[in-house]
Chains A and B, each alone.
Chain A
Amino acid sequence: MGIDATRRGFLLSSGAAALVIGFTPKGLLAAGGVEAMDINPFVTINPDSSVTVVVKHFEMGQGTSTGLPTLVAEELDADWSQVKVAFAPSDNSRYANLAMGAQGTGGSTAIANSFVQYRQAGAAARDLLVRAAAQSWGVEPSEVSVEQGLVTAGTRRAAFADLLEIARQLTPTAEPRLKEPSQFRLIGNAQLPRKDSKGKTTGQTIFAMDVKLPGMVTAVIKRAPRFGGTLVSFDASGAEAIKGFIGAKALPNGAGVAVFAKSTWPAFQARDAITAEWNFAAAENRSSDQLLADHVALLDQPQYLVRPGSDFAATGAAIQGAAKVVEAEYRFPYLAHAPMETLNCVIEPTAKGVRLHDGSQFPAITHPTVAAILGLEQDQVEIETVYAGGSFGRRATPTSDYQAEAAMAFALLGGKRPVKLVWSREDDLAGGYYRPMAAQRARIGLDGDGKIVGWDHRIAVKSIFKGGPLESMLVHDGVDHTSIEGVADSPYAIPGFSVGLSDAETGVPVLWWRSVGHTLNAYTMETLVDLAAEAAGKDALAFRLELLAGDDKDRQRLSGVLKLAAEKAGWDRALPEGRGRGIAVHKSFNSYVAEVIEIAVVEGAIKIEKVTCAVDCGIAINPDVIKAQMEGGIGFGLGAVMRNEITLTDGEVEQINFPDYEPLRIVDIGSIDVHIVPSQEAPTGVGEPGVPPAGPALANAIRAATGKQVTQLPMTRSGVDFA
């Protein structure tokens, strides 16, 4: 696979004869030989004609390590088989996510922010090779063409490698011409294979969990059983007899005990044998039932009015005078991300400081966090990004929680030996940073013609972003946009629409969970629209299309995916007895997704038979990856609404391992049929937008089939049985 993440790695693998193309910190294209390592390489053309694309985002399964190389290979006219992948080093100034201004992966932005940048790098490389060939052959650059990695002019032909020496002497064109979409050969090609398939089907791909270094020690943490609890004392005498146990030390932040062993199994055993006393004076000691009741109480008096023009008195009056009123109150549980690879990373000493081996989602936070804990300058810390076994958001936290633990453990051991910090599944489910718990309440009034006249919508949820390093990006006038996204900015034409928000205050850390606020807010919006459609005596699809009428681009694109999904699902066809169908549509991360779910009811139990999805994400870079992300997003969303919840008793998490937090299984879900809307718009996100419509589409199907309206999640808690 040849994955080298450090600059040292590039130098070793590409050798002195390579051609390097990248950008200066000011964003100008630059190129040259290995001395050009001072620029930030995005593309290296190696002496064997292979092309290494430096991927600035991490790969958690979403397909970035295929998508970004596609952009380069397209403009370079490389052959796909000659393209290799390397993950960028941690370097905020050079490899920033242009949507965030900092190096990190999130918000389904990887393709969107790289679309021009990576194509420019590829086009610059192609331009250098073309001019090198023209110079070498004494022809005009316009006579030179490049196709599938071969440079030709008339009968002359050259591999990339043949042109590197001359190309290295040339200055890149400031703004190389990019292809028109009609010229794309790789972009939009559904047959293009993923770059990570082979390694991941032969057991060869290295995740952080697989990194092993000479002399490495495994560390696990015995954490306070309640959020905010602190260590009083511990007794490790019970662990002394465990072979491979090295020692245990209190973490300097009081959050627990670092337990060291020569490998993973004795580390787990030793931790079980250690006892500890905790102080819960400042801990979150409430149970989840109480926390939820406290959220619900906040709905009476919204703290913020969050949709422009919100006026609860006027909305209330309109509903008062309405012919029909629809009401619902929703309760959402905490959810864990539970990526298959539990959180872990390796930290090792280097000549200048330390190197982290990490499936690093947000190096811009982790890098300074680790440096600060170890008292190092930032340039003494390196992060080698490796493949991540899922994340769904969990590998990026405002505190870099697990990387910080690794740094503390490394320091406690003396800073001389490599340390692998490992979380167990039990650690993962009890470890916090959940999708927030939430309560929502809505009242909708409709007139005698079935038109909405007023919509009162209130949300109580803990802010994800307040107090964190990204607060300024997403919190404005006190309102965390992710708390209200998908409701307050709904593209539906809703007269008298007032939206209120209250921040819940809890000691339970919350986090972005694949599609962030949309996971909650699409559920309420799309089940409420269905209720309103029923009250209006209208078909759920037709009612939505009415609310989306007009020239507004969002409404047009939402209507487009609704119609496509409905057509492909056979929305107009009658269903046999015992079947139900639900529809939902949602815009998130600038993409538009509609889903139709068909269920069967067998002896009162629900079976998901078929999901039909339509997505409009602009230009489809890798159509098969887009389909895979929709399939995965749908499964992720459905598993959670069906039966997942994290609950607390007196502050302690009740779920221990997968048997208590049962993931979606193959038997739970039938076929998923994904259709992509052809588009020339700029590409937008796909990692998250498949999730939001899945839950409400299922809820709407269940209501259609059984009459049961599910407003408390998970559905199993509301008495829904699944086959």
Chain B
Amino acid sequence: MALTVNINGETLSVEAEADTPLLWVIRDEMELTGTKFGCGVAACGACTVLVDGIATRSCQTFVGDLEDAKVTTIEGVTGPVAKAVQQAWQDLDVVQCGYCQSGQIMSAISLLNDIPKPSDEDIDSYMSGNACRCATYQRIRAAIHQAAGQAEG
């Protein structure tokens, strides 16, 4: 069936079943490959996108539920918070393999939109759904603190 979904500001018509996970529409239909597949059961966060500005696991979000929603992927992030987060990630060389980092960054943007000056505890609590097998956690924490300072200033 034809469904509409708004991704990165564009309203698109996709041919898919209503229960198709958003992740596969993004990756395989839209060919936006910055959003990653890691587990398929919302346990790793690699597939995190923003749905109406809030971090959401796209592998457990169904495309039929998104008619009025705005989806943002790593390719579509804009604004001072996103810029500060990506810059902090680069300044601190957070990445190792990098596969989870799109999802980490989307969660970090959502966190800072929610809590502009998060504590370590806020970060640990908000970011715990995003796994990183390279264990870049210490740098993720530091990058979020740095981005919080910059986005505010």
Contact = CB atoms under 8 A, between A and B. Distances in A.
Interface of A: 59-63, 193-194, 196-207, 209-210, 212, 243, 263-265, 268, 338-342, 387-392, 424-425, 624-625, 628, 631-632, 634-636, 639, 657-659, 663-667, 669, 671-672
Contacts of B135: 631-632, 634-636, 639, 664, 669
A473 to B, nearest CB: 26
Given A197-B95, A657-B41, A665-B137, 6 more contacts: A193-B93, A389-B98, A392-B133, A425-B44, A663-B131, A666-B137
Given A202-B34, A203-B75, A209-B37, A265 B131 contact: no
A398 to B, nearest CB: 23
A63 B38 CA distance: 22
B139 A658 contact: no
Contacts of B102: 203
For A63, A193, A628, the residue with the greatest tally of chain B CB atoms inside 10 Å of its CB is A628
Contacts of A194: 93, 95
Given A203-B34, A265-B28, A196 B98 contact: yes
A657 B36 contact: no
30 contacts: A61-B134, A63-B96, A196-B98, A197-B89, A197-B93, A202-B86, A203-B33, A206-B33, A207-B36, A212-B33, A339-B99, A340-B36, A388-B97, A389-B99, A390-B96, A390-B134, A425-B39, A631-B136, A632-B135, A636-B135, A657-B39, A657-B41, A658-B43, A659-B41, A663-B44, A663-B131, A665-B137, A666-B124, A666-B127, A666-B140
Interface residues of B, number: 55
A201 B143 CA distance: 12
Given A203-B33, A204-B34, A339 B97 contact: yes
A635 B133 CA distance: 8
Contact of A665 (B17, B37, B131): B131
A695 to B, nearest CB: 14
Contacts of A390: 96-97, 99, 133-134
Given A63-B96, A203-B75, A424 B40 contact: yes
A268 B74 CA distance: 25
Contacts of A663: 44, 131-133
B139 A628 contact: yes
B101 A201 contact: yes
A63 B27 CA distance: 27
Interface in B19-48: 20-21, 24, 27-29, 31-41, 43-44, 46
B5 interface: no
Chain B interface main SS type: loop
A342 to B, nearest CB: 7
Given A193-B90, A634-B135, A666-B130, A342 B95 contact: no
B100 interface: yes
A341 B97 contact: yes
A263 B97 contact: no
A201 B133 contact: no
Given A194-B93, A201-B86, A671 B138 contact: yes
For B29, B86, B138, B139, the residue with the greatest tally of chain A CB atoms inside 10 Å of its CB is B138
Contacts of B17: 243
A666 B128 contact: yes
A264 B101 contact: no
B46 A201 contact: no
Interface in B49-93: 73-75, 86, 89-90, 93
A666 B37 contact: no
A61 B97 contact: yes
Nearest to A660: B43
A202 B21 CA distance: 23
B110 to A, nearest CB: 15
A386 to B, nearest CB: 12
Contact of A666 (B40, B46, B133, B141): B141
Contacts of B32: 203
Given A210-B33, A624-B93, A658-B44, A205 B136 contact: no
What 4 pairs between A and B have smallest CB-CB spacing?
A203-B34, A635-B135, A389-B99, A200-B98
B7 interface: no
A505 B102 CA distance: 42
Contacts of A339: 97, 99, 133
A631 B95 CA distance: 12
B112 interface: no
Nearest to A59: B97
A425 B96 CA distance: 20
For A203, A632, A634, A639, the residue with the greatest tally of chain B CB atoms inside 10 Å of its CB is A203
B96 A61 contact: yes
B105 interface: yes
B38 A340 contact: yes
B66 to A, nearest CB: 16
B73 A203 contact: yes
For A205, A243, A265, A671, the residue with the greatest tally of chain B CB atoms inside 10 Å of its CB is A265
B125 A667 contact: yes
Contacts of A268: 40
Contacts of B138: 631, 669, 671-672
Given A62-B96, A340-B99, A389-B99, A669 B33 contact: no
A205 B98 contact: yes
Contacts of A62: 96
Contacts of B35: 203
Contacts of A389: 36, 97-100
Contacts of B132: 340, 663, 666
Given A63-B96, A387-B98, A341 B36 contact: yes
B47 to A, nearest CB: 11
B123 interface: yes
Contacts of A60: 97
Contacts of B127: 666
A424 B135 CA distance: 21
Contacts of A387: 97-98
B44 to A, nearest CB: 5
B38 A425 contact: yes
A671 B27 CA distance: 35
A193 B44 CA distance: 27
Contacts of A59: 97
Contacts of B101: 200-201
B137 A659 contact: no
For B28, B102, B133, the residue with the greatest tally of chain A CB atoms inside 10 Å of its CB is B133
A130 B99 CA distance: 41
B152 to A, nearest CB: 20
Contacts of B125: 667
A268 B28 CA distance: 13
A59 B97 CA distance: 7
For B34, B73, B74, B75, the residue with the greatest tally of chain A CB atoms inside 10 Å of its CB is B34
A636 B95 contact: no
Contacts of A667: 124-125, 128
Given A657-B39, A672-B138, A265 B21 contact: yes
Nearest to B95: A200
Nearest to A690: B135
B43 A659 contact: yes
For B31, B98, B138, the residue with the greatest tally of chain A CB atoms inside 10 Å of its CB is B98
A425 B40 contact: yes
Given A390-B133, A636-B135, A207 B24 contact: no
Nearest to B137: A666
A697 to B, nearest CB: 15
A210 B31 CA distance: 8
Nearest to B73: A203
Given A193-B93, A340-B38, A389-B99, A632 B136 contact: yes
